Amino acid sequence: MAKTKTAFFCQNCGAQSPKWLGRCNVCGEWNTFVEEVVQREAKTGTVQTLFNRRPIHPIKISDISYNHEARIIISDQELNRVLGGGLVPGSVTLIGGEPGIGKSTLMLQVALRCKNLKVMYISGEESEQQIRMRAERLGALNENCFILTETNTQAIVQHLEKLNPDIIIADSIQTLQTDLIESSAGSVSQIRECAAEMQKYSKITNTPVFLIGHITKDGSLAGPKILEHMVDTVLQFEGDRNYGYRILRSLKNRFGSTSELGIYEMNDTGLREVSNPSEILLSHRDEQVSGTAIAAMMEGQRPMLIETQALVSSAVYGTPQRSTTGFEVRRLNMLLAVLEKRSGFRLANKDVFLNIAGGIRVEDPAIDLAVVTAVLSSNQDSPVGSKNCFAAEIGLSGEIRPINHIEQRISEADKLGFEAIFLSKYNTKGLDLKRFSIRIIPVGKIEEVYQKLFG
């Protein structure tokens, strides 16, 4: 029986050493040595022995059998959408997100709601009782959901072989640990090796696997970058913990588009799927207030209407403050400079605060016009009118620029009962205006918008 051998390799130049070194004596880089398995122990019960049982031969591509309908449709429509139309058998999906954002909740919810599927939920973070308590809160119990609080991958594989589940969830990849490597759980080499074992199991048995991953301070997935290369799909669960909304974004997907996203609302019985995002992102107010404007924006392939709120007031201190939530402050500064220089509005000695409702972070440039309108409305102290919405980018010379997916944005605004949408006059080409009952107002300059709203 061959024994497992490990060695340390420099991640920069590939130099090998039997012991860990602080500084590579070949390339001179610091802290680049990582432990890797050189030779595996052929012990029963490891993925390796499973692997060895199925020798692999070259096969003609036309002879490979496959199934169109192979995707497993899970009960969570938002997750199905983000995965590109269901779960692909034999795929490995990595879900990352900040602590407390709801990764475990999301996955347990999937496990509990897939009633006709056998699910193995491996948890290295919580005890069986804790998971049961959470399941009670989520209000669904699946007889076919098994909880395994084991972190050793060799032991896990033995349980998996016995139970043969349809879906595997590992919470989290950082807590798993393999006998093959000596370093402690959560280290780069452990993470890589454990992920490789789970992936091998997944491919051999054609079972879909979800791996939950921690993220580091700077927001990237903890562990080696290679983890993201190994898996088929990388999803990111994000949102502001103080707000109820969560967004599930696809960063990589071998089986679908990465522009899809899923929206959830966290409430006391778990995560609720939000199929109509605009419904929660607009504060349904009857009275008219100044400083708010609605933007018709896109998140991935989904149009949604979102409220931007601005507050403009005279600066108390020498330097005016500019602060934003959900919007890049540099972009706000640019828009304010455009207003000042190109359109002659005096804002240089005003404090400007900007807030995107719902804790959503917006990167779509089409929100520019709504931001500018909200700022002008607050500065003017006259309301924009809650039945108007905006979709256009603003250029450095103050021109109102066209944006993509304009028809989708217009129809979404139309569907939600808005009466008018302001957009760039260059965006109306080829548009069948009669299709919509909403009034379309093409504009070319900020002054025109100002005239039409407050003039």
Q: Under the criterion CB under 6 A, does residue 97 sit at the interface with ligand TYD? A: yes
Which residues, 333 to 362, sit near ligand TYD by CB under 6 A? none
Q: Under the criterion CB under 6 A, does residue 104 sit at the interface with ligand TYD? A: yes
Part in contact with Mg ion (CB under 5 A); list of ranges 103-111, 293-301, 342-350, 352-360: 103-111
- Of the candidates 9, 236, 257, 299, the residue with the CA atom closest to the CA atom of residue 101: 236
Q: How many Å apart are CA 305 and CA 402, to the nearest integer?
A: 18
Q: Under the criterion CB under 6 A, does residue 124 sit at the interface with ligand TYD? A: no
Q: How far is the CB of 360 from ligand TYD (least distance, A)?
A: 18
Q: Under the criterion CB under 5 A, does residue 174 sit at the interface with Mg ion? A: no
Q: How far is the CB of 226 from Mg ion (least distance, A)?
A: 23
φ/ψ bin of 139: left (φ > 0), alpha (ψ from -120 to 50), beta (otherwise): left
Q: How many Å apart are CA 409 and CA 405, to the nearest integer?
A: 6
Closest to ligand TYD by CB, 263 or 376: 263
Q: Which of 40, 71, 81, 103 binds ligand TYD (CB under 6 A)?
A: 103
Closest to ligand TYD by CB, 185 or 431: 185
Q: Under the criterion CB under 6 A, does residue 113 sit at the interface with ligand TYD? A: no
Closest to ligand TYD by CB, 5 or 132: 132
Q: How far is the CB of 105 from ligand TYD (least distance, A)?
A: 3
Closest to ligand TYD by CB, 169 or 421: 169
Q: Which of 164, 269, 333, 397 binds ligand TYD (CB under 6 A)?
A: 269
Q: How many Å apart are CA 213 and CA 98, to the nearest integer?
A: 9
Q: How far is the CB of 121 from Mg ion (least distance, A)?
A: 11
Q: Which of 101, 148, 176, 360 binds ligand TYD (CB under 6 A)?
A: 101
Task: With H, G, I as helix, E, B as strand and everything else as coil, classify residue 128.
Answer: helix
Which residues, 196 to 255, sit near Mg ion by CB under 5 A? none
Angle at which helix 188-205 crosses helix 153-163, to 10 degrees, equals 20
Cis peptide before 104 (omega within 30 of 0): no
Q: Is the dihedral of CA 401, 402, 404, 407 positive or negative?
A: positive
Beta bridge partner(s), residue 203: none
Amino acid at 328: E
Q: Which of 69, 268, 287, 432 binds ligand TYD (CB under 6 A)?
A: 268
Q: Under the criterion CB under 6 A, does residue 129 sit at the interface with ligand TYD? A: no
Part in contact with ligand TYD (CB under 6 A); list of ranges 102-110, 325-333, 344-352, 397-405: 102-110
**What number of other Cβ atoms are within 10 A of residue 417's Cβ?**
9
Q: Tokens 């998971």 map to which residue?
A: 131
Closest to ligand TYD by CB, 97 or 208: 97
Q: Which of 55, 100, 318, 430 binds ligand TYD (CB under 6 A)?
A: 100
Task: With H, G, I as helix, E, B as strand and everything else as coil, classify residue 392.
Answer: coil
End-to-end CA distance of the chain: 86
Total residues contacting ligand TYD by CB under 6 A comes to 14
Q: How far is the CB of 433 from Mg ion (least distance, A)?
A: 50
Distances in Å between the Cα of 322 and the Cα atoms of 210, 314, 335 are 42, 12, 12
Task: Give the helix ranges, DSSP H, for 265-361.
Answer: 278-281, 329-341
Q: How far is the CB of 403 from ligand TYD (least distance, A)?
A: 34
Could you give the string, one character per residue 425-444, with x where binding to Mg ion holds by CB under 5 A and - elsewhere?
--------------------
Q: Under the criterion CB under 5 A, does residue 104 sit at the interface with Mg ion? A: yes
Q: Under the criterion CB under 6 A, does residue 102 sit at the interface with ligand TYD? A: yes
Residues in contact with 132: Cβ distance below 8 Å, sequence separation at least 6, in sequence order: 147
Closest to Mg ion by CB, 6 or 105: 105
Task: With H, G, I as helix, E, B as strand and everything else as coil, classify residue 88.
Answer: coil
Task: Give the helix ranges, DSSP H, for 22-152.
Answer: 47-52, 77-82, 103-113, 128-138
Q: Under the criterion CB under 6 A, does residue 137 sit at the interface with ligand TYD? A: yes
Q: How far is the CB of 143 from ligand TYD (least distance, A)?
A: 20
Q: How many Å apart are CA 416 and CA 410, to the nearest integer?
A: 10
- Of the candidates 255, 142, 249, 246, the residue with the CA atom closest to the CA atom of residue 208: 255
Closest to ligand TYD by CB, 171 or 232: 171
Q: How many Å apart are CA 36 and CA 34, to the nearest integer?
A: 6
Instruction: State the residues that interact with Mg ion by CB under 5 A.
Output: 104
Instruction: State the residues that interact with ligand TYD by CB under 6 A.
Output: 97, 99-105, 134, 137, 266, 268-270
